[in-house]
Amino acid sequence: MAELLDVQGLTCGHGEAVVLSDVSFSLEAGRSLALLGRNGSGKTTLIDTLVGVTRRHAGTIRLAGQDLTPLPAHKRAAAGIGWVPQERNIFKSLTVAENLTAVARPGPWTEQRVYELFPRLEERRRNLGNQLSGGEQQMLAFGRALMLNPRLLLLDEPLEGLAPIIVEDLLNAIRRVTREEGLSAIVVEQHPQMILAVTDQALVLDRGGIVLRAGSAALRADPAPLDAWLGVGHATGV
């Protein structure tokens, strides 16, 4: 497969504070990556730097051969980066339908296809964002990112704090858009076994760098390498 994302020598953080140093990795088109690590290991900083909302001190970020490094966040979105942040950042004063259509770009993902992925959103398409439950807001944030018709989808802890039935719905959605639709994705998650089941590869961050790279299936079969970096409870998804 062709390489979609190429990150080389990335050093980044917040202001003068460096969080990640000399991080390099790549992701092929149509593949998905689980981004794992303890709290404070830099997972969100890496995602935010790909999006363009943190400070890059050194290194390059290329998407499908295009150098994103000098581009502001809105131009990275236009280049093909779709982002579902931890805060969701939906437009709470707009309806579900308005949230989706406000950011729509041409491509295979349409409002109706988002409703097919999340039937619950179609039932609430006339509700305002602030009238939705936390799980519904997460579905809307996911759907809104898809409406950008991105080349690469970034999901920052999409399952955090949600009821088990909603978690299952979101995992199924991630599996569908990556495995069936072939959309490349990077997913940050605190519970490895959940996300390893729907991704192809995994990276573990610790102390500002990448400490482990492996296939998701291999880590599910033998979580011992994860135990060393995350602890047994994290590795088993407890």
DSSP 114-175: HHHH-HHHHHTTTSBGGGS-HHHHHHHHHHHHHHT--SEEEEESTTTT--HHHHHHHHHHHH
Sheet holding 17-28, edge to edge: 17-28, 3-14, 55-63, 66-67
DSSP 180-214: IT--EEEEE-S-HHHHHTT-SEEEEEETTEEEEEE
Residue 234 has pLDDT above 80, yes or no: no
Tens digits of per-residue pLDDT, 35-67?
999 999 999 999 999 999 999 999 999 999 999
* pLDDT for position 217: 95
Please state the three-class secondary structure of 79-128 as a single string: HCEEEECCCCCCCCCCEHHHHHHHCCCCCCCCHHHHHHHCHHHHHCCCCE
CA distances from residue 173 to 15, 100, 145, 152, 203 in whole angstroms, order as listed: 35, 17, 13, 15, 21
* Section 65-91 average pLDDT: 96
Reported CATH class of domain 3-80+150-235? alpha beta
Residue 155 has pLDDT above 50, yes or no: yes
Tens digits of per-residue pLDDT, 121-133?
999 999 999 999 9
Phi, psi angles (nearest 5°) of residue 158? -70, -15
Q: What is the distance between the alpha carbons of residues 227 and 238, in angstroms, rounded to a whole number? A: 12
* pLDDT for position 190: 85
Average pLDDT, the chain: 94
* pLDDT for position 1: 67
Tens digits of per-residue pLDDT, 15-34?
999 999 999 999 999 999 99
